[in-house]
Amino acid sequence: MRGMGGEKGEIKKDILFRMFSYAFEHKALLSLAIIIMIASNLLALWGPDLSGKAINAIGDSPEAVDMKTVIYYSALMLGAFALSAVLGYINSIVMVNLSQKITYTMRRQIFERLMSLPVGYFDKTATGNIISHISYDVDTVNSSLSNDILQIGAGAITVIGSLVMMLRISPVMVSVFLFTIPASIIFTRYKTKKIQPFFRARSGKIGELNGYAEEMLSGQKTIRSYNREDVIVSRFDKKNKITVDAYYDAEYHGSVIGPSVNFINNLSLSLISMLGGLLYLYTLTHTENPIPYLVISLGNVSTFIMYSRKFSGPINELANIMSELQSACAAAERVFRLLDTEPEPADAPDAVELTDVRGDVTLENVKFGYIPEKTIIHDLSFNAKPGNLIAIVGPTGAGKTTIINLLMRFYDINGGKIKLDGHELRQITRESLRRAYTMVLQDTWLFHGTIFENIAYGRENATMEEVIEAAKAAKIHNYIMNLPDEYNTVLSDDGVNISKGQKQLITIARAMLADAPMLILDEATSNVDSRTERQIQEAMYRLMEGRTCFVIAHRLSTIQNADLILVLRDGEVIEQGSHDELMSMQNGFYRSLYCSQFD
């Protein structure tokens, strides 16, 4: 978060610099673009010169027309413009390439950062907002970056060139700019600073709106089933109104800058023409011993004004660019804030790369809460020996899923120790730790891709035979073969013809193929009917064999032969032992849970 989130001008400079550094990374392309741009502009300037020559050749009377020369210069002019057009297009090619390179880089960086963020970030952040960063924000930054940088470059050349010319004609007249230019700079800076919060609000609001739209879209069926469309639409309207108002506010205040700078320029032009007139008068009246600086010819007055128009053109433009830059800055700030979000802390330098995992897991006095002030797990200790089946039972909300989050180090514990094969989790590289587990979760996750890809996801280079074998073991093969494209059927978002249970079976097949030394089953078969469950039981046993397994289940019958049953209640293990041991406790919680399922 370094340097972000403040409200001072300093910080903005930071963002601006960081933003432009993306363009400067492609120095070769950038300089090529500038060179071509200058060449193409020079050619475009040469054109009028040629046309002037052609017109001169016409002369001032019908007899004086030099037809040959006219045609010669016209043809040359055509050539110059053709070349200029070609160069102009080449310049576009370079610029498009540059800007797309930047967009590509930014999106890649965002995505890579996302992938390194702790799971908690995704638990907290609306997906729509994340998407807003990677699409809207990046687009805004980029559209301003690629155009503005070039315009500023080109503008600077023109400004400096014309300034030199003007100084040569009359330094006295240039003095007008001594007042007007600081005036526009001060005005622009003052306004920009005032407007910045509006632009920041605007970017934030659109992110919120996107988040809301995404969330409500995901619940559209439910909203319809409850006839709540109108309520949700009216809530959306409120947010929509806030967003467009934020837009309007930003534009309302921003719209002053361009015309105002334009006005200041026109003001200098008026002043210059008046001063020019005065000086010309002086020149006429003081023919003897005039002060040399004040002498000016009529022709020079008009040339000076021509240059001062050229001079103020880019400054006008700059004011327009400012407002674009402003929204780009606000968007960039959001992008950078995401890029600066702390990733999962790096693995300890001496972290071990686990290779042959035996699966000996020990928890000692583990303490944990999602927010530090609110401890969910107070003091948890147990030991799972290699190949053991550990069942975790307890009422909903007792912290079962939290244990899984800790075992896989999706979250770091606040106190105590978790050890795998004698190494503390923090001393193991995350990747090798996570690779040691396969998991099947209650919330199945399949992606947009073929069934084959979804099953093969856990193992690189899986063959079709292996995938089919896993699918057969998970009892989903027959269903797949009935689909129009069999294993090549594409699963799309909210795919129609696939039930939750079938999705779960596909993830079980995925887990079977992944072949990791340890296994986590969090309500893995909650959506599978018990007949199918029994049919895949054998395969599940095979899956569990020789692996340390953590199983969360409600159907107590499925976990009776666990080596260790942990009974959780309010974040504490209140009972632990084998099924028989627990059943022998007359007033035990487990016993009462177990009996309740036969009520």
Partner 1 sequence: MKLFLKYSKPFAPYVCLGLFIKILGSFSELVIPFILEHIIDVVVPTSDMRAVLFWGVAMIVVSLLTLVLNVVANRMAAKVARNVTEGVRHDLFRRVMYLTAAQIDKLTVPSLESRLTSDTFQIHRVTGMILRMGIRAPILLIGGVLVTLALDPVMTLVMLGTLPLIAVSVLIVSRKGIKLFTGVQDKVDSMTGVVRENATGIRVVKALSKTDYEKRHFDGSNRALVAAEKRAQLTMALSNPLITFFLNAGLAAVIVVGAYRVQGELTKPGVIIAFMSYFTIIANAMIAITRIFTMMTRGIASANRITEVIELNQELTPVENTKKCPREGYIVFDHVDFSYGKMKKTLTDIDFSLTKGGTLGIIGATGSGKSTVIQLLMRYYDADSGAVYLDGRDVRSYTADELYSKIGIVRQNDFIYNDTIEENISFGRDLPHEDIEKAAVIAQAHGFISDIEAGYDHQLTSKGTNVSGGQRQRLLISRALAGKPELLILDDSSSALDYKTDANLRRAISENLGDTTQVIVAQRVSSIMGSDLILVMDEGEIVAAGTHEQLIESCEVYREISDSQLGGAFLE
Interface residues for partner 1 in 529-548 (CB under 8 A)? 529-534
- Minimum Å gap between C-beta 85 and partner 1 is 4
- Minimum Å gap between C-beta 274 and partner 1 is 4
Burial class (CB in 10 A: 0-12, 13-18, 19+), 375: middle
From the list 460, 464, 457, 461, the residue with the least C-alpha distance to 480 is 464
Q: Considering only residues 465-484, where is the footprint of partner 1 by CB under 8 A? A: 479, 482, 484
Q: Where are the beta strands (DSSP E) in 436-544?
A: 437-440, 449-450, 490-491, 518-522
The binder of partner 1 chosen from 124, 350, 465, 586 (CB under 8 A): 124
Residue with structure tokens 């503005």? 148
Helix (H) or strand (E) holding 362, with range, is strand 361-368
Residue with structure tokens 């999962």? 344
In terms of CB distance, is 321 or 439 closer to partner 1?
439
Q: Considering only residues 278-307, where is the footprint of partner 1 by CB under 8 A? A: 278, 280-281, 284, 298, 301-302, 305
- Minimum Å gap between C-beta 134 and partner 1 is 6
- Minimum Å gap between C-beta 365 and partner 1 is 23
In terms of CB distance, is 92 or 383 closer to partner 1?
92
The binder of partner 1 chosen from 20, 81, 187, 411 (CB under 8 A): 81
Asked if 42 interacts with partner 1 (CB under 8 A), we say no
Burial class (CB in 10 A: 0-12, 13-18, 19+), 113: middle
With CB under 8 A, what is the number of residues at the site for partner 1?
Answer: 180
- Minimum Å gap between C-beta 298 and partner 1 is 6
The binder of partner 1 chosen from 5, 7, 24, 222 (CB under 8 A): 222
Span of 17-25, 59-67, 186-194, 418-426 interacting with partner 1 by CB under 8 A: 59-67
- Minimum Å gap between C-beta 318 and partner 1 is 17
Asked if 215 interacts with partner 1 (CB under 8 A), we say yes
In terms of CB distance, is 194 or 500 closer to partner 1?
500
Q: Considering only residues 379-408, where is the footprint of partner 1 by CB under 8 A? A: 393-398, 400-401, 408
- Minimum Å gap between C-beta 255 and partner 1 is 4
Q: Considering only residues 554-593, where is the footprint of partner 1 by CB under 8 A? A: 554-557, 560, 592-593
The binder of partner 1 chosen from 190, 445, 541, 542 (CB under 8 A): 445
- Minimum Å gap between C-beta 545 and partner 1 is 18
Q: Do β-strands 423-424 and 361-368 pair in parallel, antiparallel, or remain unpaired?
A: unpaired
Asked if 51 interacts with partner 1 (CB under 8 A), we say yes
- Minimum Å gap between C-beta 236 and partner 1 is 5
Asked if 551 and 442 touch (Cβ cutoff 8 Å), the reply is no
User: For every residue of 88-114, which 3-state class applies, written as one string?
Assistant: HHHHHHHHHHHHHHHHHHHHHHHHHHH
Q: Do β-strands 564-569 and 572-577 pair in parallel, antiparallel, or remain unpaired?
A: antiparallel
Q: Which amino acid is at 406?
A: L
Asked if 196 and 326 touch (Cβ cutoff 8 Å), the reply is yes
Angle at 273 between CA 268 and CA 278, to 5 degrees: 120
- Minimum Å gap between C-beta 1 and partner 1 is 21
Angstrom distances, CA of residue 575 to CA of 94, 101, 228, 486, 566: 69, 59, 45, 47, 6
d(CA 171, CA 18): 38
Asked if 166 interacts with partner 1 (CB under 8 A), we say no
d(CA 320, CA 551): 62
The binder of partner 1 chosen from 74, 151, 341, 450 (CB under 8 A): 74
Which two structure tokens, joined as six digits, stand for 304?
A: 């000076």
Span of 3-11, 159-167, 211-219, 346-354 interacting with partner 1 by CB under 8 A: 211-219
Which two structure tokens, joined as six digits, stand for 105?
A: 């880089």
The binder of partner 1 chosen from 29, 39, 97, 578 (CB under 8 A): 97
Asked if 442 interacts with partner 1 (CB under 8 A), we say yes
Asked if 220 interacts with partner 1 (CB under 8 A), we say yes
The binder of partner 1 chosen from 276, 359, 517, 571 (CB under 8 A): 276
Which two structure tokens, joined as six digits, stand for 133?
A: 């960063």
Any idea what DSSP says for residue 185?
A: H
Q: Considering only residues 406-435, where is the footprint of partner 1 by CB under 8 A? A: 408, 410, 431, 434-435
Helix (H) or strand (E) holding 391, with range, is strand 389-393
- Minimum Å gap between C-beta 36 and partner 1 is 12
d(CA 307, CA 581): 97
Asked if 328 and 140 touch (Cβ cutoff 8 Å), the reply is yes
The binder of partner 1 chosen from 1, 45, 71, 481 (CB under 8 A): 71
- Minimum Å gap between C-beta 183 and partner 1 is 14
From the list 540, 542, 579, 585, the residue with the least C-alpha distance to 557 is 579
Asked if 457 interacts with partner 1 (CB under 8 A), we say yes
In terms of CB distance, is 196 or 210 closer to partner 1?
210
- Minimum Å gap between C-beta 131 and partner 1 is 5
The binder of partner 1 chosen from 11, 159, 251, 426 (CB under 8 A): 251
Which two structure tokens, joined as six digits, stand for 272?
A: 């210059």
Asked if 12 and 329 touch (Cβ cutoff 8 Å), the reply is yes
Give the sign of the dihedral formed by CA 106, CA 112, CA 116, CA 122.
Answer: positive
Asked if 494 interacts with partner 1 (CB under 8 A), we say yes
Residues near 79 by beta carbon (within 8 Å), at least 6 away in sequence? none
